[in-house]
Structure 1
Amino acid sequence: MFNISGGEFLVLGALALLIFGPDQLPKAAAQIGRVLRQLRTMADSAKDDLREGLGPEFKDFDVQDLNPKRFVQKHFWEAGEDEGAGSRPVSQLNGKRPPFDPEAT
């Protein structure tokens, strides 16, 4: 999700240990966990409110479709696969997915 390697994770852990200290680190980790759970609950609530506000004509609406990367995949690459081998994007890539660079987006 965050593209953190093992070495980077160890550096972050060492920094957290230096910043919070060994006695405060468990308390800080628990508080961060609570905040992340609250944020996830708020995001889920906002998604539900959005779906409810849009009405029944958008019952199959997916919030992930608003992500530009997902939009391109859904409307260009998946549509090309449905049309068969004659479609331009799929034939150029021989049926493979395009390369993805997380730093370019």
Structure 2
Amino acid sequence: MFESVGWGEILVLVVAGLFILGPERLPSAAAWLGKTSRQVREYATGARDQLRRELGPEFDELRKPLEDLRGLRDFNPRTAVRRTLFDDDPDPAAPMKPNGYAGPNGSGATTPPAAPRLAPGERPPIDPDAT
């Protein structure tokens, strides 16, 4: 639950608690917070166990998409762009053709389109609608 909270954040919370609550009320507030968080955790565990008992094997089927969504939390756009642009490995989900080229976005193209060669000094064609 508190995986991302470090010692620095805990220290700041304790100091803030000392200023807000005072030293005489801080221990009782910490005890209340611990008891309440423990009780909430027990309620959540009980609800999950009750769902598991009532749904049976369907509970695991319901849980799989939720675990996939939890994986999105670790999504890093920089890594995804770098992997897409600079990795030479093709997308494993894309259908592979015999020559190893999957085509753009897994399309049915068997070979990449060949760009026409320009003569030395020749200007490339310009698409006025694209500029």
TM-score (norm 1): 0.55
**Count of aligned pairs:** 76
| Farther-moved stretch of structure 1 (1-10 vs 12-21) | 1-10
Name the counterpart of 1:12.
Answer: 13
1:20, CA displacement in angstroms? Answer: 1.1
TM-score (norm 2): 0.46
Name the counterpart of 2:31.
Answer: 30
List alignment gaps of at least 5 residues for structure 1: 74-84, 90-105
Q: Distance in 2 between matches of 1:72 and 1:7?
A: 23
Tell me, yes or no, if structure 1 residue 88 matches structure 2 residue 89. Answer: no
Matched ranges for 1:16-95 at <5 A: 16-55=17-56, 57-58=57-58, 61=60, 65=64, 66-67=66-67, 68-70=69-71, 88=92
List alignment gaps of at least 5 residues for structure 2: 75-88, 94-131
Structure with more of its chain in helix, by fraction: 1
RMSD: 3.2
Q: Distance in 2 between matches of 1:28 and 1:62?
A: 41
Query: Taking CA–CA contacts closer than 8 Å with sequence separation of 6 or more, which of the two structures ends up with the larger relative contact order?
Result: 1
Does the aligned pair in 2 maintain the 1:17–1:25 contact within 8 Å? yes
2:24 counterpart SS class: helix
**Structure 1 71/3 Cα, relative in aligned 2: closer, same or farther at 3 Å?**
closer
Amino acid at match of 2:58: F
Larger radius of gyration, structure 1 or 2? 2
